[in-house]
Chain A
Amino acid sequence: MGAIDITCRGLAGVALTSLLWAVPSDTRAFTVNIAAANPRVIYLQVGVGSFNGTYNSGGSPANNATVNVVSVTVPAAQVGNGAAQAMTTNSTASRSYYDNYVFCNAPAQLYVGGFFRSTSNSGSATLTTSSPANLVNASGQQIPFSQISWTSSGNGDSGAQPFPAGSFNGATQVIGTIRRNQWAESCHTFRYANSSVVAPGTYSGRVTYTLSTP
């Protein structure tokens, strides 16, 4: 599970043969039972993460509890004028742990990636986000979380992104999927719609990213 804090700061923010062998099998064969000990493994990284080595060199994931912040300060003169405001992140994660390639452009982009390990061909892992209805300032004033959207890309990528563009809905929503035994990653560039005049202050809210296995 990962999370980011978003703030908008400033003024807004199986026959016979078998029968023949079946009888002696009790006394003239031995059986080794095998089972997968750890059939499912998932790794999710939102912003900064930790990995020992890289994915394509047999590395292994590690824990990182960092919650990154995506923010924007809207100039007073532009508050509520409808001009979308690019947001930036305090994440320094630009290189992918897939192969150490510079996949994202921090701080303009937030890295979102991970993998799903399973022995069962029962589907894909699903990445969801949970966002509150509103960003809230110290005075309780609000900005709908739906004002925050993102585009998706990756350096050197072409074709569809695993975690495509979208906007938060102030509830739980599907962001994308990761196929079994695959790594998936995208870079998200956030923006604030800035479509309404709001009271001055720092508006904040936390988005929680959850990767779930079938």
Chain B
Amino acid sequence: MRLAVAAAMVALLAAPIAPASVAAAATYRVDDHATLPIESTALLRWRQAAPSLAQDDTLEGATAVAVRLNLAAWVGQEASLYLVFPEQGSAALRASWTTQGRLLPGEVSPGKRVLVYRGRITSPAIEETLTLRIEADGNRLSGMQHLQFHFEIDTD
């Protein structure tokens, strides 16, 4: 019984993640297991050393992320690629990034996704380095927080 349940679960998981072929328009999670931040922790500093009259209590910092996306399932297709920043359930956050040109720069807040590539998928992998800048509300950031990001692809 336990094995049957486990097998069903695996089938459910695998279907939307690693399609052998994709024909209809749909959204899939992209295999980005090889994507890694360069630093273990991005240290955020006060944007303003003193708490100004405007009450700017923003902490900010940046870190580089080495992105490697497995797009083999979609080679030859027209698609849109998104960076997704799910709700974090923590301090007010905002993330922005610059790129080296293979992906689009942009910014995103929790619960949203932003287009980073639109066009034909021409190679089985994309490699890019994002310089990711994080802003957080200093009144609500205590200790270390783990921000989860992932990529999604929409096929036409």
Contacts and interface: CB of A to CB of B under 8 A. Distances in A.
Interface stretch (B71-79, B112-120, B138-146): B138-146
A93 B90 CA distance: 42
A34 B52 contact: no
Contacts of B43: 34-37
Contact of B46 (A23, A24, A56, A117): A117
Interface residues of B, number: 49
B4 interface: no
B44 A32 contact: no
Interface residues of A, number: 37
A183 B51 contact: yes
Nearest to B48: A58
Contacts of A58: 48, 50, 52, 56
B37 A28 contact: no
Interface string B27-52: 00111110111001111111011111
A155 interface: no
A172 B47 CA distance: 35
Interface in B8-62: 9, 12-13, 17, 29-33, 35-37, 40-46, 48-57, 59, 61
A63 interface: no
Report the 10 A-B pairs with minimum CB-CB distance, sorted nearest first: A56-B53, A37-B43, A27-B33, A29-B150, A181-B51, A60-B49, A33-B41, A35-B144, A30-B35, A32-B147
